[in-house]
Structure 1
Amino acid sequence: MHLITFKQNNHSRIGVLDTVRNEVVDLTAIGLPGDMLALINAGEVGLDKAREAIVSGEVRLALNEVKILAPIPRPLRNILCVGKNYRDHVSEVQSALPSSGDGVPELPIIFTKATTTVIGPGDTIPASQDPTDSADYEGELAVVIGKGGRGISRHQAMEHIFGYTIINDVTSRRMQKGHQQWFLGKSLDGFCPMGPGLVTRDEIPDVTQLQVKTSVNGEIRQDGSVAQMIFDIPILIETLSQTMTLEPGDIIATGTPAGVGMGFEPPRFLKTGDWVAVTIDPIGTLENPVG
């Protein structure tokens, strides 16, 4: 299912996107929870009710009558992020940020983004709020945890995934370099567009076949395969759950392929008036203007 969080008449609800008919099945109207985190916590029972609603044809809305929000507009915890997880991206990071370490990492590099970074599809990326004028894009596949747990083995990891979405890990490069760590430069308000939907795990039987593409003003900048990750999704879940309990609704951003703005000479940072689009089919395209 292609789940979304949407707003109509100033009320936020959750639904299923019918891309064929350009309609939204309003799940809240049939008694399901009003937010995505509650639906994730409901597990298979909630998903079964959602499937029944699709078949029954109840409470459908025209897509143009609603505004799609980030699928999880305010996560319960910081977004868990993975740095330098595509080999081609490692080279461009090393060139632009020598302080970031040498070569391909031996273990996953983990950092977080604040919950206040999240914005939805169509919302403006506030690049002008970056005091260093160096806002950059990073298109990424994000994993949303369904069944929580600690000490999850890589062999069981996929069973703990609820679904997948897209994020743009927008980053202030000069803040990242100046502070010699990644949290501040990646946690400016509005620096994490997310969406447009949350596709359940059953819809994507082989996640390694997905392609991550990012364009700026129609120009393709990034085009990488999830299969090129240095540390795949099961390893990331195993690594994280060795030290913490993963909880339903936790979001893991899995890293970005080469082609970010800082990798060009001179760097091509985002500026007011730009338009960024991150596409991962079948999840969709996450589009945002820059302001």
Structure 2
Amino acid sequence: MRLYTIESENKLYVAVEGKDGRLVTLDSLGINVADMNEIIRRFDELRVLIAERLENDNPKEIGCEYSIKAPIPIPVQDIICLGVNYRAHIEETVDVLDFTKKTDAVYFSKRVNTANDPDGIIPAYDFVDSLDYEVELGVILKKDALNVPVEESADYILGYTIINDVSARNLQFKHQQWYRGKSLDGYTPMGPCIVTTDEIEDANDLDIRCYVNNEKR
């Protein structure tokens, strides 16, 4: 299942990709939810209903123009990130920060009042002179998790999305911490959708790509 947040006529809707690849709003399936956060909270309850309505109700595609927004426009909490989690990134930053011998995971948070759209414009701030970007796999949890055994962790995952971890490097170096430099408005593009776990056999086999101004980086 692929879940989207779309905007049409100045209103946001949660939509799902139909069998033919076209988007269908949940409203048109008779499923009324406030936003994607409600879908996440109630996913185990709603997933079967959504699938049944898509299969049996001959859903109508969206009949007016729409734009794709971040799947979770307003996250309920900060985004928790795992830093320097790709070998290539560790190697390219070794002259600035050497993590090659670090054995413990590096965690940080991004403050996100509103997530940027997947094709959104990243703001240019006059106090930022070294903007950077890192494409990341976003893991969407459907329930609170604490001290979860590894063998049970998959039960907590709703699905995956793409997040661009945009950073103001000069702010990071100035403050000697990551929070502000990664939390400026517009610095968390997300999407275009959430892909649920039933469509992904092994998240470790996924390829993710980043485009800047429609150019693959």
2:103 aligns with: 106
Letter in 2 for 1:28: D
1:57 aligns with 2:65: no
The answer on whether the counterparts of 1:25 and 1:57 sit within 8 Å (CA) in structure 2 is: no
The answer on whether the counterparts of 1:147 and 1:159 sit within 8 Å (CA) in structure 2 is: no
1:267 aligns with: none
1:74 aligns with 2:90: no
Question: Tell me, what secondary structure is at the counterpart of 1:155?
Answer: helix
RMSD: 1.9
Counterpart CA distance in 2 for 1:129 and 1:183 is 16
CA 113–59 in structure 1, closer or farther in 2 if over 3 Å, else same: same
Letter in 1 for 2:59: E
The answer on whether the counterparts of 2:73 and 2:114 sit within 8 Å (CA) in structure 1 is: no
Number of residue equivalences: 215
* Structure 1: unaligned runs, 5 residues or longer: 222-291
CA 67–218 in structure 1, closer or farther in 2 if over 3 Å, else same: closer
TM-score by length of 1: 0.69
1:26 aligns with 2:25: yes
Letter in 2 for 1:34: A
1:210 aligns with: 206
Question: Tell me, what secondary structure is at the counterpart of 1:119?
Answer: coil
Counterpart CA distance in 1 for 2:131 and 2:19 is 32
- Residues 231-285 of structure 1 deviation map (CA, whole Å, 9 limit, x = unaligned): xxxxxxxxxxxxxxxxxxxxxxxxxxxxxxxxxxxxxxxxxxxxxxxxxxxxxxx
Counterpart CA distance in 2 for 1:118 and 1:172 is 17
- Residues 95-132 of structure 1 deviation map (CA, whole Å, 9 limit, x = unaligned): 2x23xx54243111110011126111222111x11513
1:156 aligns with 2:155: no
CA 92–24 in structure 1, closer or farther in 2 if over 3 Å, else same: same
Moved more, 64-73 or 155-164: 64-73
Q: CA deviation at 1:181?
A: 0.8
* Structure 2: unaligned runs, 5 residues or longer: none
Question: Looking at both structures, which has the greater relative contact order when contacts are Cα pairs under 8 Å and sequence separation is at least 6?
Answer: 1
